[in-house]
A = this chain, B = another copy of it.
Amino acid sequence: MFNGENEPLAAQTNPFLQRYTPPTIDGNFTGKHIITVDQFERKDLQILFDAATSIRKRIRQSDRGLTEVCDGKVMASLFFEASTRTDMSFQAAMRRLGGEVIAASNGVQFSSVYKGENLADTVRAAGCYADVIVLRHPQLGSSYEAAYYIDKLNQRIKNPSVIISGGDGIGEHPTQALLDMYTIYDQKKGFDGLTITMVGDLRNGRTVHSLAKLTALYEPHGMRLCFVSPQSLKMPSSTITLLTSKGITVFETSDLLEVLGQSDVIYWTRVQEERFENPTDYAAIKDDFIMTPSVMAHARPDAILMHPLPRKNEMGTRDDHDILDEDPRAVYFEQMENGMFIRMALLAKVLRGVYV
């Protein structure tokens, strides 16, 4: 359950993680696969954030010009596992830009894959028909594999396409990290001096890893990251090293109350029972990782509470939800809506390179 390096449970074994290197963005998104937050620098984030803010404003104004941005372009939605928010927000994003969406009518898991087709062939089928493929797949490195084969395909066919990862197993979920960063940026008007507290299974949590990496890339001044987790589910030491090398102060604890009162941002995630070999170990800590209105009472009046959703019992009962949801500090619905704006910005940049 615990090892010296504190790395996530699954070994990173997909050979395409070595064989394929995603391109850096470096200010130009056009035609580039979006696979990992490592492709981004601070300036690239700023470009996206500005575009998302502009798009949000134009939607509120019912600006119909938006629907010309991706007019004539087609997005294929390849979801090998369910993810309502990522799936529906990408679809809405593409359609609000005037683009079209295709998907296997009966769900891709029942399609050719079911007949034994491998990922490389299924992705290339989508690549023949679409301009951009959003890929969600349970296997680590699947987005690297997809990008590798699409690059080869693009040399053969008339109409090239590009991959955007919608999450690959325990690997990364780059657009989730981007929308999380944007929500903090939007709510707090920047990152300098912020205390951001991440809570839950920090060892295996894909979203907290990517978000931590992005804060490092942003190179904020005076930022403090607090990691609250059970002892056996601490943030990987490689991430801690990265963060401290960028001048970010890191504080680790298993006691939320040590840091809750000083946090500007509280990023809540689930601790799954399945991660514990011993049920009594889980039982011993689980109540410390449930956010309820009485816990939130200890937070600052100007703090924000984030969550990637969906949530189960890590926010208590349905009644607890109803109370928390009314708290103006709970911004997870705004966060969810921002997911659409960030994905619109990304699709516009990748497909057209336009300044929206």
A interface residues (Cβ-Cβ under 8 A, vs B): 56, 59-60, 62, 64, 66-67, 71-72, 74, 76-77, 79, 82-85, 87-89, 91-92, 95-96, 100-118, 120-122, 124-126, 128-130, 152-153, 156-159, 309-312, 318, 321, 325-326, 333-334, 336-337, 339-340
Q: A89 is contacted by which of B56, B129, B312 (Cβ under 8 Å)?
A: B129
CB-CB under 8 A for A153 and B105, given A56-B158, A71-B67, A340-B129: no
| Cβ contact within 8 Å between A92 and B102 | yes
Q: Shortest Cβ distance from A58 into chain B, in angstroms? A: 10
24 pairs, A vs B, C-beta closer than 8 Å: A64-B72, A66-B72, A76-B88, A79-B105, A82-B104, A82-B110, A85-B125, A87-B105, A87-B111, A88-B130, A95-B102, A105-B107, A115-B312, A116-B312, A117-B311, A118-B318, A120-B318, A121-B310, A121-B321, A128-B333, A128-B337, A157-B334, A157-B337, A158-B337
Q: A87 is contacted by which of B84, B104, B116 (Cβ under 8 Å)?
A: B104
Q: How many subunits of this chain does the assembly comprise? A: 3
Which chain B positions have C-beta within 8 A of A318? 118, 120
Which chain B positions have C-beta within 8 A of A109? 106
